[in-house]
Structure 1
Amino acid sequence: MLALPAILMGAALAVADRMPDYDVRPSCHAATSLMSLDPKREARCLDDEASARREVAAQWAGFLPADRVRCAAEAQLDGTPSYVDLLECLTLAREAKATKD
């Protein structure tokens, strides 16, 4: 019975080791079509996502593995993955830990 939890833990650690690769284009397109007819809004969304992706990539190794796994899952819960959401989750997790210490 211990083999299954060990396998799941190994899979979670593998996920934590590499930054997720999200396709944010559908998310930005959907957000744009729901919120505005402004064609520049989608471009701004994609720029925001690219900026957040770069920031997450630069800091990825500094986040706790458990936070990386949890936040990566949360950032795509509704089927619209977002690096902005991922960065916010990871930053909040780090700040929460800092206030406990």
Structure 2
Amino acid sequence: MASNDCIIGGYDVPRGTIILVNVWAIHRDPKLWDDPTSFKLERFENEKGESHKVMPFGVDTKEIDMTDGTRSTMPKARPLEAMCKARPIVNKVLYKENV
């Protein structure tokens, strides 16, 4: 959600607007990736890779409870929670606050 009026990608975005990011498209953008539809592990193996181009997900240092639930589709006993946190570079690339 935009905390202030801002401009994202040239569009005026009023404060309070819910912003959805198409991560699927970013991860498959041929302007960013060589052969974007192929999984290449070497992109993510070291600090010199291309991992700065992705919007990775992760969790804090707590162990994840991977215990299966009791339903036939085997959901997790404790569902995982997704939490978004923008990297500082995102502000420089996508976000320009109105003055």
Q: Same fold (TM over 0.5)?
A: no
Relative to total residues, which structure has the larger strand share, 1 or 2? 2
**TM-score of the pair, normalised by structure 1:** 0.28
Higher helix share: 1
TM-score of the two chains, using structure 2 as the length reference: 0.29
The structure with more radius of gyration: 2
